[in-house]
Structure formats: structure tokens, C-alpha cells
Structure 1
Amino acid sequence: MDIPKPSGPEILSEGFAPARQRYFNRELSWLAFNERVLAEARNPEYPLLERLRFLSISGSNLDEFIMIRVAGLAGQANRGIEARSIDGKTPSQQLTEIRRRVKALDLAQQAALADLRGLLAKRGIEIADGKALRPDVLRHLRRYFVEQISPVITPQAIDPAHPFPFVANLGMGVLFNLTRKADEAALVEMVLIPSAIPRFVRIPGDEAIFVSIEDVIRLSADLLFPGFRVEGSGVFRVLRDSDIEVEEEAEDLVRYFRSAIQRRRRGRVILLELDGDFDPDAEQLLRQQLGLRGAFITKTGGLLGISALSAIVEEDRPDLKFESFSPRYPERVLEHDGDCFAAIREKDMVVHHPYESFEVVVDFLRQAAADPAVVSIKQTLYRAGHQSPVIAALIAAAEAGKSVTAVVELKARFDEEQNLHWANQLERAGVQVIYGFVDWKTHAKVSMVVRREEEGFRTYCHFGTGNYHPVTTKVYTDLSFFTADPKLGRDAARLFNFVTGYVQPVRTELLSISPLDLRETLYRHIDREIENARKGRPAGIWAKLNSLTEKAIIDRLYEASAAGVQVELVIRGNCCLRAGVAGLSENIRVKSIIGRFLEHSRIWAFANGYALPSARARVFISSADAMSRNLDRRVEALVPIRNRTVHDQVLEQVLLASLLDTEQSWALAPDGTYTRMKKQGEAGFNCHTYFMNNPSLSGRGAALAGWSVPKLTLRKGAL
């Protein structure tokens, strides 16, 4: 279906300032975000295993960045494409800067690991380097190798008689230089490490000693190669291009993605990681055989594949982790004897994850599946996880004879295979499975339940800022908005008809949908703030997003700043807007929150002629970030919040607490650097602690009516 891409006027001419002075590079901004994540691994105020978790996350983030973003730029450079980034750089120029930053980031990760190794060892957790192990530990490892590892690995000679083995994406291996004792003949052998083998071996006992699988293999080389003398060995790791491009002429999306997932495992090598003492001849062999034209090559004296440290974080040491936290179940639902529909029918409600349980979302669907009055369920699924109670509820509903429609997004990156599996399970149960548009992802998070009641059919909706994923909802801060508002119900039906039948709505009553009119809705509200500022009325914009990279939105915010609109932004990840620049953005402040939970909710608030925060402010939640892909190439939803209690919760609790946070916040300077807002040892405000200790406004019932929730106030100069 061909829908014209929305377009808006350029707010500021390119002659105002060179692009490099007006915008930050998206890729370098993302690397700055991952540097902030890594900084938490060195935060002395965090428990040690939590610091190790942040180190692991920074490694996982960097892997994905290389497999997707760097791979895309490398592909453009190899094809001679000169498309410039928002700050005017060619792909080759960006790659040059990225190489430098990635190398520095790798060195910083290894330095953080070295520090944590020493600190953890003092607390009874040793991440051994394989070079100085006790005799009893060595004996256990050799026994473990014979019993558990040797049967599943396959040494492969590297010579003209043997084809070079294929190394899969994220694959690791060890190259051995050997000499046969019988005739002193030289031989090179490769041992690829199967992904099914645990990355670390834990030595039994009270003291937790972890040895990497590559060290276990190297330490047992004499068992693996009897009759040979080991002259040297080296560990390597490969990352490949993992993006999947959907061809417009793809006739069968399911078949296309099954094939594309297989191709991704064999994508072009983007990064070759080598340990620091890797043999130069062996390195040259890998370079020749892997086809490394334009690939990154890094050498490190530490651990390859930092992300694997997540396995050690699971060690049962609560004294080295954050104090356990159990999410609340909304008291207002409990007051209705757990009946989600009765609670929603009474009034709108927002559930703030992970402080409030995701279980209420699952219960909403479970009750719909079991309720004989429910006739229809429609659900979008972007990421649902491996063990999905949401999928189970939809299957139960279909088996109960209800009309169930599931929009499964096959193009959800790295979840394509899992989503194919769920689509198959749903179809078997009788669910009508829709895959949406070929060239757009369906990213909106919407559930729609139609129930037969005395007054007629009533539609209940759930709109979310995050995925229907039971694991991420425990660590991602997201909003789940429940409503029985008839207007939103009709709009939700229009959204589903748009995705399932390409029926473009002539109009919507409250909802804004990308790529149809979400962009224009944001433009309209920003422009209204500009107009109010020029008329001398209070004008302000508050927003909380994961990313801000869309040029036209940034330019409009620049114009708002020039008009005197006070703009406060909480942008967790990459931000291409330059804040606090005289003559460009002096009225814009940007901060990033990195802490125990991953900030993920998307919220917009517009002053609407009254000083923020105000009951008259226009407040929206959304599934979309301010990125061109979200506004032009994805189906997204922007939901206005009209209920007074929910409005107060989103604006004066969730958004204001994020703006007031100092303990986990980093301020963006005009030159692109980020600085911690709270100095070590200073008292500050922690929004995560605030939410863990206080009930939400719309979810608390009469039982908590007397609970004195600390009201947040915006003191002069606080922002």
C-alpha cells in the first residue's frame, strides 16, 4: 500500500550553521550512551555483581551495534554509497571515528574487568585467567574436559587437504600451532567452540571459581592432541553482518524470513577479535580465509566476548546484588476481586512497570480468554520472549471459541526466529495470524478486547510503551495504559484494520498513528508551544524518549528554543540534538538516566499555555521514539492521556521524577560530552528508589487512600 510520506517545512535553513555544529552523529552518540552504561560497571556505589552485569550489558550492546549499525555503514562504504549522516559525514568518515571509539571502549571494558576481577576475588568469586590455577582446580578441569567437552568439539586441521571451516556469527574458536613429535612436522588445528557449551566452568565448592571454556580447552590441549607438542595457541571471535533487509518483491514473508535467518548466520565478517598474544602467522591465516575486507580487527589482553559475563552474575550471592524487589499488583484491581474489566470500566488506569507487576497485563488477557462475555481479542506482538504467558492466553482464547487476531511482527530484529515459532503455535490453535506490512514494522503495542455487556458491546484497550515480554518487563521502565474509552476503542479498531487489511483510516478520534499522522501531531503541539511563547504565554515541552535522531523534530525543537519555549528532555540513548548552544538551543536541556532499571517509556508533555506541570498540559504516551524509522517506516501509536488521575501520574509522578533525578542522571553538554549530575558522596534524588517505595496514583485503591505519597515539586532552578 503506497501512502505518501509525511513531510514538514524546514524550520531552520541549512545556512544557519554547518550540520556538524547543529547535530551530533547518531552512531557516535550511541557509543557515548554505551560508555555511560560501562561507567556503571565502575560505580563504587553499586554491588559488585551488579557492576559486572553492567559490564556484560555494555559488551552485548557493542556486539549488536557492530552487527547492525557498523555492518550497515561498511556495506555502504563497500558499495561506494556517499549518503551523509545528519552531521554531514560519509559512511567512510563515520567508520574511521567509530573504529577509534570502539578501540577505546574495548580497552575501557578490559580495564573495568581487571578491576572487578580483583574486587570479586576478595569476596569469594574468582574469574580465573587460566594461567595460575591450583592443582586441584586443574585436575577438575581436565576431568570435566574429558567428560563434558571432548565429546562435542571437533579439531580440524588447516591445510590444503581440508577446507577452511565455517565460523558462525558470534562464533569463538581456538587455533593451535602444533609440532608432531614423531617427525617434527608442523600442523595448524582449529577447534570451534559450540554455542551450546557454557562459556564458563564453575569449580564445585563454596568458593566460586570460574574458568572460561577457551582456557579449559587450551589447558587440556595435550589430551586433545596426543603425540603433538603445543607451540602456541590463540583465541578468536567473529561477528558478522546480522541485519535482514526485506525485499519488496518478497511474496511469502514466512518463507523469506526462514531463509534470511539462515543467511544472517553466514553474513559478511564485520569484526574479528583476537586475544593479545595471538600468533601473527595464525592471524594472517584468519585474515585470508575469512575475507576481512574493511572489517574491524581488535586485539585484547583480556576476555573476548565480554557479554558472556552475564552467566557469572547469576551466582547466588544476594549480598553482591541489588536488594531484591517485588513489584506491586495494582491495589485497585485487587479491590475488584482481581477483575481487570471491572477496574478498567470504573476508570482509566496506568500500570508503571517494573514497579507494578506485568502480571496484570497477562491477567487482562487470561480473563478475556476465560470470560464467556468476551467475543473478540486483537493483539500486536513485536517481542514476546521464549516463555510467553501472553501467547498462552491467546491460544486459550482461540481454543475457547473466541475470535482472536494476532499481528506478529516477523521483522523484530533478533526475534525473527522466535516470532516465527509463535506464529506457528498461534495458527495451530486457530488464531488468525497477520504479518502486517512488508516494508513497515508494526511496532505499536496494543491489545483490544470486545466484551458483550448489558448496554451492548464494550471495547477494553491496553496501550503500552514496551513489549509484551515477561523478562524485559522486570527491568524495563514502561507504561501500560488500560482504558474503556469508546473513542480510543474505535481508534484501536481502526489501527488493527489498517494493519490487517490495509484500510487506511479516514480519521481517528484521539489516537495518532505513524506513518499516517503521528509526526504531524507532534509538529502541531510543538508549533502551538512556539506560538504561545511568542505571545508571552507560558510555554514548555517535556519529553522522555529512548532516542532523538529525527532531523525535522530536532529543528522544530530548535525553533521552539529560539522562541523562548523551555524544553526539558530525558533521552536515554542516542541524541543528535545539541543542547545549550547559544543562538541555537539555549533553552533546551538534555539528560540521560542510566541505573538499576532500563528507562524505556516514551512520554510527551506540552504546557498548553500553562506552566508545567499543570492539569491543563497535553500529555501523551507512545510506542515511538523520535526517529525517522518510527515516524515514517513503522506502525506506531501516540495516545493522549485525558483521565485526571492517570494524567497526574504520568506528568507529575513519572515524568517529573525523571526530570528531578540526580543520582542516575548524566547531563549533556554543548560539546557532546555527558557528565554525572551527582558527585560521589552527595545526597541526591533517585527516581527508581522513589517509584519502588511509593504506589502509583491510578493503581492504588481505597486501601491505600491514606498513603501519603510524597508529592514531587518543581522548585525554581531545579531543572
Structure 2
Amino acid sequence: MIEHDLLDAGLGDADDDDFDEAFEAADAQLPENRYLDREVSWLAFNKRVLELSEDPNVPLLERANFLAIFASNLDEFFMVRVAGLKRRIITGLAVPTNVGRAAQDVLTDISGEAHRLQERHADAWTTLVRPALADAGVEVISWPELSDIERENLSEYFQSQVFPVLMPLAVDPAHPFPYISGLSLNLAIRIRNARTGRQEFARLKVPPMLPRLIEVPHDPDTNIIRYLPLEDLISNHLGDLFPGMEILDHHTFRLTRNEDVVIEEDETENLIQALEAELLRRRFGPPIRLEVTDDMDDVTLDLLISELSITAQEVYRLPGLLDLRGLFGLSRIDRPELKYPPHVPKTAVPFQPAEQNGRADLFAAIRAGDVLVHHPYESFATSVQAFLEQAARDPHVLAIKQTLYRTSGDSPIVQALIDAAESGKQVLALVEVKARFDEAANIVWARKLEKAGVHVVYGLVGLKTHCKLALVIREEDGVLRHYAHIGTGNYNPKTSRIYEDFGLFTDDDQVGRDLTRLFNELSGYAIEKKFKRLLVAPLHLRKGLLRAIDKERRNAQAGKPAHIRIKVNSMVDEQIIDALYRASQAGVPVEVWVRGICSIKPGVPGMSENITVRSILGRYLEHSRIFAFHNDGDPQVYIGSADMMHRNLDRRVEALVRVVAPAHVKELTDLFDFAMADTTSSWWLGADGEWTRHSTDADGAPLVDLQERTMAAIQRRRRARAVR
């Protein structure tokens, strides 16, 4: 067994005071205005998503999918980030901003950029993607474009499938303005009473349980598929809903509410009850955005603004369809030529069965050496899922311990834990019920686990448990052996097919002891111990990374080779960024590969000229976290769940594991080499915060796609195994 003591590696907590003082003294050498605004950076990330929808080289249905992703991302941005800022301003709490600007100025900038992006998003649909889809035989049309027979068929559909579930709500002295749920699509309708001549207002919610895009019956001999938006169908049958009334006008609108859940755990004895109460309050959060069609009349708009207590700045007038999340439905169309080429995840080479149609022994494979898997290029089902399913049915397995942050309700992972508990094994599931927007689902299946006999715990007060850990204890020849999985992504079979992640399987005894202590502390009391092959937040991860970064700085000053590489979803933590600036000042090449938010200003003379920041977006969501340090020729490479954010380093339980097998270290560093190469398609961050896309060479030829190359490389690896 290989043991790597972080204290021996210079990553421990000895001389903490001297270490902190050295960092504080170094801070004085850095300029004040050295961070990019995190909220503006997040909008820049979603702008990169939007650019994929505008790219004619991306398959058409995938472009529509990126439009839907942009819409979903922006919804969450308003519900959480904008809502959180507004809540802090209203309550007088300090606003977390690392650029030294007033919170109201930040909100003003965010609002202006959000308006520009939403208008660009709407324009991308109406002028780029929708016409291109029509040219390819996929039409999203309006009621006037239908033939008489098509209207007749759809009217029958309306009467049988839509009309019975509609609930028109009048607004008059006897009927107060109705509650408008967050993210619901609605029709604002003005009508005139034919008998009295009085004008009235009504609200009609578009039923969310029905298909947003209704397929128009068509001739099967043609290749043309036509869709009518549900709200268009409803608005052309309003006379059925208001018989005897004159329909004066109708417009679509959509409201976004504050859904930033805040739980004061220290003041409650029952976290689940407190969370359920807060989720109920979330439904009635204050409005923060009103989207309306650009043809809405002033009378209707003024009424909505008044009744919803929203400001004019929070109104977004948009052309075309509202809520383009509905475009997710187009992914069901069977037109392979309009999508990315299909990719079937491969079984990782060490987990391939020895015999055709046989079942692999994953424990034997892990005993032969650490196994690194790369999703979705390599299969989640035949690695992580198979590992837990084998553990559940293996009579030699005594216990299974696992963290669960997000998973699907019908997850085979949950079922494996239930099967293990029902077969008499000790099973511990640490369920994070505070996983944003998955709270209600997590509560449901946490209770399902409890009913099956699984020991369910909810982590530590004040901390989210975000680490991705599974530990299996197996008796072998009278000795207990630990088999562990440490990952960068959730134990979710569905997202594993679209999220890029790494996972390490190991039977290293030191990792087993580390995880045993960590699970005991998570189910018992606060984390206090140091670990050998793990870096664990909130107590040790930040300092461990700062020491590793500073060691590269000192090596560079001593004339030794030095290099830092970090791949994360978000890079906003000031201490980490400042440490990278200091390393750059000492001459250390620093490469940051970030998917989303990044507050680093690269390429600033005297501060960050040795820092390079790149971003890669594509068919898969880059989700893995990698930390690699040259370490004077003895590479220290970690993978894990932590982003470089305050919440990850200070308010979450996170874990990084050191990757030690030379082949695995090479695989991760080779991936980084390719990601940062000028010949790879990516976005480059400038010192001014602008991201520039590099997708073609000087001759206009497309640059290499990292994800396609990785698919091909894993396919070659599989073929090489078959030849042997």
C-alpha cells in the first residue's frame, strides 16, 4: 500500500499562525482592483452557452437545446443570485462582492446585462434557430399558419385534453388578483361584458403538465414536423372559456420569484421540518422578474406591475415565445442528422468482464490497482452503479457507507442501498436534504431509505455535505478490507450521461481509514482529524491548497521547475486567487480551466502575466475538478468535489483525493495539455473580463473538439484491450 501523508508533503497545519501572517503580508503587494465581479462573470458564462446556440456548426436540435439550457440557467440565476442580493440589500446584510462596489450598482449592471442577453436569446430563436429548423423540416408555427383541417384537429385536441384542466380566474371586486406561481406561463386577458359593457381582467395559467409544444397531425409521407405552442392553442379558444364575453386582448406573461431558501439550523431542532416549512415559503417568495411579450398593451402591463409590486426595471419585454425551456421537448424528435452523433459510454477497461456476456468482479479489479473512470465517456452503470450493486448482494460485504447529494428518485443507487439494508448489512446514507432545488425530492427518498432500515443522517449543522464518497467494508480471509469510491460528480445515473466527471476506485488501506474516520465524524460530531490521502473541507482543504500553491511559488523563486493547474466549475475565492497571483509573480505558469464563474484577471503585467484561463463548453457539461502541482518532479494531483468558492471551502464538507498511479496522473495531465492547447476549441479570458471564443484556425478550419477527442481516445483504449 502507498501512503501519502499530507504533513510530510508540506500540506499540514503546522505553524498555521506563521503561514497566515505570511499570506497577509503578501496581500499588501497586490492591487485592490484585482477581481472580476462574480455575478457579471456568471452572466458571461451563460453568454457562452448562448453562443453555442448561435453557432451554425452545432447540430440544429442541439442549438435549440442550448437555447433551453440558457433559459433554465437564467431562471436559476434570478431565483438565487439576484434574489439573494436583493434580500441582503433589503435586510441590511453585507453583500458578498469582491470588487468593492455598492450592491445597488452591481444589481444595476446585472439588470442591464440580463436585459441584453434575454433580448439576444429571443433573437437567436426568432431569427436564427427557428428559421433554420423550418428549413430542415421542423416547424414551430402560429395558429394563422395552420390549414383548416389542422385547426379542426387541434380544436378537438383542445376540447378533449386541454379545456378540462384550464382554470380561468377573474379579477373584480369579488375576486382579488390571483397568486401567480413562480416560472408559470400565463395569459393576461382583457374582456368586455356584453351585457353591461364593463371591461374585466382575467388570468389563465398555461397547464405545466401538458406538452408545451403540441405536434400538429401531419402526413406521414412527408418529412415535415410541425408544432404549435400550447399557449397559442389556448388563446385561440378563449371564447370557449368566457362564453358571452367579448375578448378584447390577451398577452403572455411569466413571473420569477425569489426562491433562495434560507435555513437557520442553529435555531431549529428538526432540520426536515424546518426545510419543509421553508420550501412552502419559497412558493410565495417576492417577485423579482416579469417577462412579457413585446406587444403587451400598457393597460395590461401597468395592472401587472401594480398588482405584483414589481418595478419597471424588473420587466423584460421579449419578442416571440416566452420560456424557451419548452425547447427541451424538441430533443424527442427522431432526426439523428440534427443531433450530435450518438455516443454509448464504454465500460472502463479494468471493469470489463474476462468472458463475453460474463459479469465483472469489481472488487478483484480494484484489488489489482486503483481504477480511474471518466464519465460519460466511460459507463457509470458498469462502474459506480455496478460497484454498489455488487456490494449489496455480496455476502462478504458487512457495511456500506455513502454520501448522497443529488440523485434521481428511481435511482438504482438508492435501490442498491435498500437491498443491502434488507439483506442485513449495515448501511449508512448521509443525505444532503439542502441540495438546492432537490430538497423536496431528497426528503422523499431519504424517508424511503429509512423505512428500509438504512441509517440516514443529514450531516453537520451549518454545513452542506457535498463530497462524493462511497465506502464498502468487506471481510476477506478474516480481515476487513476497504473499497472506496471518491468522485467529482453526483451519484445520479441520469446526469452521469451528460456531466463530465472523474471517479477513483481504490482499496488503499489509508484511504479506507480516512473515509471511515470521515463518515464517523459526519454521522457523529464535527470534523477534527487530519487525513492522509484526502484533503477535507472545511478545516483542511483551503490551507492544503494554499500550501501547495505556495510551494510552487517558493520552488520557482529557488530556480526549480514549477507549474499549477486547476480545473473547476467556479473560481471566486479571494485567498486562492491571491495565492495564484503571487505564484504568477514568482514566475509559476498557472493554468485555470473553468466552466462558469471566474474572478481572476489573467494577463495583467506585474500581477498575473503567467496565468492563463480557458473555458470549454460542448455536448457534455464539464463538471470534474482537478488540482495538479508540479511539486519539484513528484506530481501532486487531486480530484474531488470542491470548487474554489467560499461556500465550498468554508461551509461545506468537501473531499479531494490524491491520485497516485502514474498512468492516472498522466491521463489527467494529458487531458489538461489538450484542453489548454491553442489548437483546441475553447474560450479565452482576458484581463478585462471578456471571453473570446477560439473555434477556428487562421484559415477558418474548425479547431479540435476536446470532448470528441476524448471519446475517440477511450474508444482506442478499449480496442487495444480487445486486441490483447
Query: Normalized against structure 2, the TM-score is what?
Result: 0.93
- Which residue of structure 2 aligns with residue 716 of structure 1? none
Contact 2:133/2:139 (<8 A) preserved: yes
- Which residue of structure 1 aligns with residue 466 of structure 2? 443
- Which residue of structure 1 aligns with residue 9 of structure 2? none
Contact 2:541/2:649 (<8 A) preserved: yes
- Which residue of structure 1 aligns with residue 152 of structure 2? 139
- Which residue of structure 1 aligns with residue 60 of structure 2? 48
Contact 1:332/1:700 (<8 A) preserved: no
Contact 1:662/1:684 (<8 A) preserved: yes
Distance change in 2, residues 1:488/1:702 (3 Å):
farther
User: Which of these residues, 681, 685, 695, is aligned with residue 664 of structure 1?
Assistant: 681
Separation in structure 2 between the aligned mates of residue 255 and residue 701 of structure 1, nearest angstrom: 53
User: Which of these residues, 66, 69, 77, is aligned with residue 89 of structure 2?
Assistant: 77
Separation in structure 2 between the aligned mates of residue 606 and residue 696 of structure 1, nearest angstrom: 29
Separation in structure 2 between the aligned mates of residue 662 and residue 227 of structure 1, nearest angstrom: 67
Separation in structure 1 between the aligned mates of residue 673 and residue 377 of structure 2, nearest angstrom: 16
Contact 1:661/1:687 (<8 A) preserved: no
Separation in structure 2 between the aligned mates of residue 91 and residue 508 of structure 1, nearest angstrom: 40
- Which residue of structure 1 aligns with residue 261 of structure 2? 244
- Which residue of structure 2 aligns with residue 710 of structure 1? none
User: Which of these residues, 211, 217, 220, is aligned with residue 204 of structure 1?
Assistant: 217
Where do residues 104-253 of structure 1 align in structure 2 (5 Å cutoff)? 104-114=116-126, 115-205=128-218, 206=220, 207-247=224-264, 248-253=266-271
Deviation string 1:204-234 (CA, Å, 9 cap, x unpaired) is 2243211111111111112222212211111
Q: Does 1:473 align with 2:496?
A: yes
- Which residue of structure 2 aligns with residue 714 of structure 1? none
**Pairwise CA distance, 1:168:** 1.1
Root mean square deviation, CA, Å? 2.0
SS at 2:255 equivalent: strand
Deviation string 1:221-279 (CA, Å, 9 cap, x unpaired) is 12222212211111110111111111121211111112211111111111111111112
User: Which of these residues, 353, 359, 363, is aligned with residue 375 of structure 2?
Assistant: 353
Deviation string 1:306-355 (CA, Å, 9 cap, x unpaired) is 22211122212111101111010123222454111010011001110000
The aligned length equals 695
Contact 1:436/1:500 (<8 A) preserved: yes
What is the identity, as a one-letter code, of the residue corresponding to 2:199?
A: A
Separation in structure 1 between the aligned mates of residue 42 and residue 230 of structure 2, nearest angstrom: 31
Q: Does 1:689 align with 2:708?
A: yes
Separation in structure 1 between the aligned mates of residue 82 and residue 679 of structure 2, nearest angstrom: 33
Contact 2:573/2:646 (<8 A) preserved: yes
- Which residue of structure 1 aligns with residue 7 of structure 2? none
User: Which of these residues, 343, 346, 362, is aligned with residue 385 of structure 2?
Assistant: 362
**Pairwise CA distance, 1:661:** 6.8
- Which residue of structure 1 aligns with residue 277 of structure 2? 259
SS at 1:116 equivalent: helix
**Pairwise CA distance, 1:83:** 3.2
Deviation string 1:167-210 (CA, Å, 9 cap, x unpaired) is 11111211111122334222211112232222221112243211
Separation in structure 2 between the aligned mates of residue 632 and residue 208 of structure 1, nearest angstrom: 52
SS at 2:24 equivalent: coil
User: Which of these residues, 612, 636, 639, is aligned with residue 657 of structure 2?
Assistant: 639
**Pairwise CA distance, 1:295:** 6.9
What is the identity, as a one-letter code, of the residue corresponding to 1:317?
A: R
The percentage of aligned residue pairs carrying the same residue is 41
- Which residue of structure 2 aligns with residue 715 of structure 1? none
Q: Does 1:674 align with 2:691?
A: yes
Contact 1:408/1:434 (<8 A) preserved: yes
Q: After the TM superposition, which of the residue ranges 672-681 and 451-460 deviates more from structure 2? A: 672-681
User: Which of these residues, 397, 403, 415, is aligned with residue 426 of structure 2?
Assistant: 403
What is the identity, as a one-letter code, of the residue corresponding to 1:288?
A: S
Separation in structure 2 between the aligned mates of residue 29 and residue 683 of structure 1, nearest angstrom: 26
Separation in structure 2 between the aligned mates of residue 34 and residue 178 of structure 1, nearest angstrom: 39
**Pairwise CA distance, 1:696:** 8.1
Where do residues 485-500 of structure 1 align in structure 2 (5 Å cutoff)? 485-500=508-523
- Which residue of structure 2 aligns with residue 711 of structure 1? none
Separation in structure 2 between the aligned mates of residue 127 and residue 11 of structure 1, nearest angstrom: 61
- Which residue of structure 1 aligns with residue 24 of structure 2? 10
Separation in structure 2 between the aligned mates of residue 590 and residue 333 of structure 1, nearest angstrom: 35
- The runs of 5 or more residues in structure 2 that have no matched partner are 1-15
User: Which of these residues, 299, 311, 314, is aligned with residue 281 of structure 1?
Assistant: 299
Separation in structure 1 between the aligned mates of residue 419 and residue 663 of structure 2, nearest angstrom: 34
Q: After the TM superposition, which of the residue ranges 283-292 and 579-588 deviates more from structure 2? A: 283-292
Runs of 4+ in 1 over 4 A off after TM superposition: 4-8, 699-702
**Pairwise CA distance, 1:28:** 0.2
Distance change in 2, residues 1:602/1:334 (3 Å):
same
Separation in structure 1 between the aligned mates of residue 612 and residue 489 of structure 2, nearest angstrom: 25
What is the identity, as a one-letter code, of the residue corresponding to 1:352?
A: H
SS at 1:41 equivalent: helix
Separation in structure 2 between the aligned mates of residue 494 and residue 37 of structure 1, nearest angstrom: 41
What is the identity, as a one-letter code, of the residue corresponding to 1:394?
A: L
Query: Normalized against structure 1, the TM-score is what?
Result: 0.93
Separation in structure 2 between the aligned mates of residue 383 and residue 193 of structure 1, nearest angstrom: 29
- Which residue of structure 1 aligns with residue 450 of structure 2? 427
Contact 1:332/1:701 (<8 A) preserved: no
SS at 1:609 equivalent: helix
- Which residue of structure 1 aligns with residue 611 of structure 2? 588
SS at 2:429 equivalent: strand
Q: After the TM superposition, which of the residue ranges 564-573 and 643-652 deviates more from structure 2? A: 643-652
What is the identity, as a one-letter code, of the residue corresponding to 2:494?
A: V
Q: Does 1:509 align with 2:513?
A: no
Contact 1:465/1:600 (<8 A) preserved: yes
SS at 1:31 equivalent: helix
Q: After the TM superposition, which of the residue ranges 587-596 and 176-185 deviates more from structure 2? A: 176-185
SS at 1:10 equivalent: helix
Separation in structure 2 between the aligned mates of residue 701 and residue 314 of structure 1, nearest angstrom: 32
Deviation string 1:641-691 (CA, Å, 9 cap, x unpaired) is 112222222222x33232237443100011111111232732422221111
**Pairwise CA distance, 1:16:** 3.8
- The runs of 5 or more residues in structure 1 that have no matched partner are 611-615, 707-719
What is the identity, as a one-letter code, of the residue corresponding to 2:258?
A: D
Distance change in 2, residues 1:358/1:11 (3 Å):
farther
Where do residues 586-625 of structure 1 align in structure 2 (5 Å cutoff)? 586-610=609-633, 616-625=634-643
Separation in structure 2 between the aligned mates of residue 135 and residue 316 of structure 1, nearest angstrom: 27
Separation in structure 2 between the aligned mates of residue 295 and residue 75 of structure 1, nearest angstrom: 17
Separation in structure 1 between the aligned mates of residue 119 and residue 526 of structure 2, nearest angstrom: 52
**Pairwise CA distance, 1:84:** 5.3
Distance change in 2, residues 1:271/1:447 (3 Å):
same
What is the identity, as a one-letter code, of the residue corresponding to 1:296?
A: E
What is the identity, as a one-letter code, of the residue corresponding to 2:139?
A: E
Distance change in 2, residues 1:301/1:280 (3 Å):
same
